[in-house]
Structure 1
Amino acid sequence: MGYFSSMFSGFARSFSIKKVKNNNGTSDAKEAADEMARDAKKKEKILKSCGYVYADGSNNSASVFSKRGEKGVNQDCAIVWEGFGCQEDMIFCGIFDGHGPWGHYVAKHVRNSMPSSLLCNWQKSLAQATLLDPEIDLEGSNKKLSRFDIWKHSYLKTCASVDQELEHHRKIDSYNSGTTALTIVRQGEVIYISNVGDSRAVLATVSDEGSLVAVQLTLDFKPNLPQEKERILGCKGRVFCLKDEPGVHRVWQPDAETPGLAMSRAFGDYCIKDYGLVSVPEVTQRHISAKDHFIILASDGIWDVISNQEAIEIVSLTTERPKAAKRLVEQAVQAWKKKRRGIAMDDMSVVCLFLHSSSSSLSQHVHHSTTFK
C-alpha cells in the first residue's frame, strides 16, 4: 500500500501533536484543534476519490471475501485500510451489512464515509486532549483521559454525524433502508471495536491448555436483548416474532406491521428511529497478547450457520492466509444448504485480521472434532 501512503506526504506528521508554549490557554488549544480538523477534512476528498484502500482480495495481514446470497444484489461490503491515517502501526477494518430496498447503497456510503470521519474526529479529540493538558500521559496509569476515551468519543461522534448525514443525503433513500457497521481500529498492540448492529467479531486465542478457542468480542444487537428491548418499548416501539419466523425477534412501529427490523441498532431506517432503533455504537477495547492469533469480522449470514469455534477452526486450518476469508464463506454456504434448506441464503462477508506476522500453522492448537469438506 505504499502508493496510498505517498499520497499523504506530511499527513502523518500532523498527528504528532506539538505542545502549546504560550499562555493563551483554551482558545489557542481550540484554534489548533480546529485547524487540524480542517486539515483532515481536506484529505477527505482524497480518501473518497480513492474509494477504499483494500476491499477485494487479500494479503498477509488480512483476508477479505464477500459473496452474494439468494435475495438479489449483494448488500454486504467490507474494508481493510492498512496504515490508517498514515500511521504504520494502525489498521482499520469493517463489515457493513445493508438491508432494505436501498441497503447496498447505504452500506457502501457508510463504509466510504466512516473512516475519514473517524480520522477527523480522532485527530481533533487527540489535539484537544493534548493541547488542553500538555502534561497528559496517554500511557500512564493515572491518566484522566486514556487512549480508549479518545477513541470512544471519536467513534460516538462519528456514528452520530454519519447517521445524520445519511438522513439528509439527496441521492440515497434510507427511510426504509439501513446498514450495520462493525469496525475495528488496531493501534499498536491494542484494538478498539465499534459495533452497530448484529455482525460479529470473534477472536481466536490459545487457552491455558494449549488449544485454540473462540472469544466473542461483540454482542449481536438483537431486539430481544433485555437492554435493547427495554429501550425500544420505552420509545413505544414493539418487539415480537412473526408466526412463520419463531425465534426471530423484530422491531415494529407502534401501530403498523413495519418495518420488522431484525436488529436493534443500525444506520438509516429513519422510519423506526423514533421508536427505539439507534445508531449508537458499543465501543470496547482489548490488549493483544502473544496468545491472540486473529480476529474474524463477519456479517450475520455466517453466524446463522457457523459457530464461533467452527469459524476459528476453519480459518486456522487454512494454510494460505489470503484464502482464509473465502474458505470460511465457502464452508458457511455448504452449512446453509444443509441447515437452512428451503430458506434463501443471506449475503456473507468476512474479514480475517491476523494479529502477528508469523505464518506458522495453527493446526496444532485445534481439536479436530469437526470435519470440514
Structure 2
Amino acid sequence: MPHFSSLLQGLARSLSVGRDRKADGAGDGKAAAALRSSGTLGRGGSETFAAACSRRGEKGINQDCSIVLEGFGCQEDTVFCGIFDGHGPWGHYVAKAVRESLPPSLAGHWQEAITLASLIDGGEKRLGDLIVVANVGDSRAVLATKADDDDGAVVAEQLTVDFKPNLPQEGQRIRECNGRVHCLSDEPGVHRVWLPDRESPGLAMSRAFGDYCVKDYGVISAPEVTQRRISSRDQFIILATDGVWDVISNEEAVQIVAATADREKAAKRLVESAVRAWRRKRRGIAVDDCSAICLFFHSTPS
C-alpha cells in the first residue's frame, strides 16, 4: 500500500510546528489514550503493550521526549509511537513542539489513507498487523524477531537509517547545495554540517525538523518511510534516541529487552544499561540523554 508512504512524505514536508493543533484523537473530539515520558500503556487487556523511559544526561536539560497513543486516528487497533531528540540551546522546546504537533496533524491524513486503503483492498482493512516507520534524524527503530532456525532466539533487524552527514548520498546532497561536511579536530569521526562561510551550526545529522539556517544548504526534513507486515515471529520494536544507540548495539538492545521478564521495566532497563555503558565506554565524556520506547506486539510472549 504505497499510498501510506506518499501521504506521510507529503505531510512531513508541509508540517509547520505549532500549527493546526487538535485533540490527540483524530479531530472529532475523541482523545486517544496517551503516554508521555516514562511509564507504561496497554495493561487493560490490550493486544499491544508499551513501556517508555527517559533519563536526563549530563549536558543540562533533557532534550529527549516521546509519546505513545493508543487508538490513534480513532482506530482501536492502531498505536502511534514517537521519539524525539532535540539539539541546540532550544532543542527541548522543539522536540516537545513536534511531539504535540505531529500526531494530530498526521491523524487526519492517516484517516484518509485508511479510507483509500479500504477502497483499494475491496473493503478489507488490515491495519493491526501493519508497521509504518517514518524517520528524520538519528534516532532509530529496531525490530526484534525470532530467527528462522526455530530455536527461539530473538534477533535484531534495524528498520531505519541513521541520517548522518557522512552517508554518501546525504553528504553529496549537502555539498551540491554548497553546505560543508567535516569533523572538528577534537571530534574525529563526528561529521557535522556547516554553512559555506561560517563554522556554524555544526549539525551532526543530515535531516532534522527546524535548523532553518541550513535548510538551503542540503539539510532536509523529509523522512524515509517504510512499511511491513508484522509476522508471527515478530516480538517487539524498540524506538530509542542516539544516546542509547551510541553505546548499545542493536543486538544488545534486543537481548536486554527480551531478557526482561517484567515488560513494564523493559524500557527502563534498556535506558539504565545505556547510562552504565556510557560511563564504562566513554569515560570523561558527558553522558547523553537516553530515551526508549518498547512496543510489544503480543499480549503474552509467543
Tell me the TM-score normalized by structure 2.
0.84
**Gap regions ≥5 residues in structure 2:** 1-19, 44-48
Counterpart in the other structure of 1:220: 162
1:331 is the counterpart of 2:273? yes
Normalised TM-score (structure 1): 0.69
Aligned length: 270
The reply on whether 1:45 has 2:50 as its aligned counterpart is: no
C-alpha distance in structure 2 between counterparts of 1:44 and 1:242, whole Å: 40
Identity of matched residues, %: 64
Decide whether the 8 Å contact of 1:91 with 1:187 is kept in 2: no
CA distance change for structure 1 residues 58 and 125 in 2, over 3 Å: closer, same or farther?
closer
Aligned 1:196-215 pairs, distance under 5 A: 196-209=136-149, 210=151, 211-215=153-157
Pick closer, same or farther for the CA change 1:97–1:138 going to 2, 3 Å.
Answer: farther
| 2:135 corresponds to | 195
Question: What is the CA-CA distance between 1:122 and the residue it aligns to?
Answer: 2.3
> 1:342–1:69: structure 2 CA closer, same or farther, 3 Å change rule?
same
Q: Which residue in the other structure is 1:73 paired with? A: 61
SS at match of 1:71: coil
For 1:287, give the aligned amino acid: R
**Distance of 1:126 and 1:189 partners within structure 2:** 14
CA RMSD of aligned residues (A): 2.3
1:20-78 C-alpha deviation (Å, 9 max, x unpaired):
xxxxxxxxxxxxxxxxxxxxxxx953339979811231145001000000000000000
1:36-185 map, 5 Å: 44-47=21-24, 53-55=34-36, 56-59=38-41, 60=43, 61-127=49-115, 129=116, 136-137=120-121
Bigger Rg, structure 1 or 2: 1
For residues 144 and 240 of structure 2, the distance between their equivalents in structure 1, rounded to whole angstroms, comes to 14
Counterpart in the other structure of 1:259: 201
Report the CA distance between 1:359 and its aligned residue. Answer: 4.0
Matched residue SS, 2:232? coil
Q: For residue 17 of structure 2, what is the aligned residue in structure 1?
A: none
**Secondary structure, counterpart of 2:35 in structure 1:** coil
Q: Distance in 1 between matches of 2:51 and 2:269?
A: 10
Distance 1:202 1:70, change over 3 A: same
Q: Which amino acid aligns with 1:137?
A: D
- Structure 1 pair 289–136 and aligned structure 2 pair: CA distance change class (3 A): closer
The 2-side partners of 1:218 and 1:275 are apart by 23
State the match for 1:347 in structure 2: 289
TM alignment of 1:286-305, pairs within 5 A = 286-305=228-247
Structure 1 residues 116 and 135: alpha-carbon distance in aligned structure 2, compared to 1, 3 A threshold: closer
> Is the Cα contact below 8 Å between 1:52 and 1:112 reproduced in 2?
no
Distance 2:119 2:33 in 1: 36
Q: Which has the higher helix share?
A: 1
Secondary structure, aligned partner of 1:267: coil
Q: CA separation in 1, counterparts of 2:185 and 2:168?
A: 21
- Is the contact between residue 32 and residue 70 of structure 2 (CA under 8 Å) also seen in structure 1? no
Identify unmatched segments of 5+ residues in structure 1. Answer: 1-42, 141-146, 148-185, 361-373
CA distance in 2, matches of 1:119, 1:267: 19
- What is the distance in 1 between the residues matched to 2:142 and 2:111? 28
* Equivalent of residue 320 in structure 1, options 256, 262, 267: 262
* Greater relative contact order, per chain length (Cα 8 Å cut-off, separation 6+): 2
